[in-house]
Amino acid sequence: MAQHNAFYAQSGGVTAVINASACGVIEACREAPEHINKIYAGHNGIIGALTEDLIDVTQESEEAVTALRHTPGVPLAPAVTSSRISKPTVPSTNG
């Protein structure tokens, strides 16, 4: 079965709820490795999607992701920021 990448972006405020949601999304994606290859998060939420400023959370440790569940403050930082990327290369689907 083909693998796809997952993208997560959430905006609205700096709260522990946003971090806990990010944790849940990342953990759920990790439970489906046969379907999901890479997991990206938008830096600053949807702005990251619009500017192609993404964080590759695929390689983050289980401990760092789990820490998001109980981390108040800025989502995806400082617990998960080591794999920030800009403008990822997207493979062509044209022949």
The stretch 65-92 carries a mean pLDDT of: 59
Beta-bridge partner residues of 56: 40
pLDDT of residue 78: 39
Tens of pLDDT, residues 44-76:
888 888 998 999 999 899 998 998 888 887 655
The answer to whether the CB of 33 falls within 8 A of the CB of 23 is no
- Model confidence at 91: pLDDT above 60: no
What pLDDT, on a 0 to 100 scale, did the predictor assign at position 59? 87
For residues 71 and 19, is the Cβ–Cβ distance under 8 A?
yes
Is the pLDDT at 24 greater than 90, yes or no?
A: yes
CATH number belonging to domain 4-86: 3.40.50.450
Q: Where are the domains of the chain?
A: 4-86
Tell me the DSSP string of 60-86: S-HHHHHHHTT--SSTTSSSS-TTEEE
Residues 3-16: tens digit of each pLDDT: 899 999 887 766 77
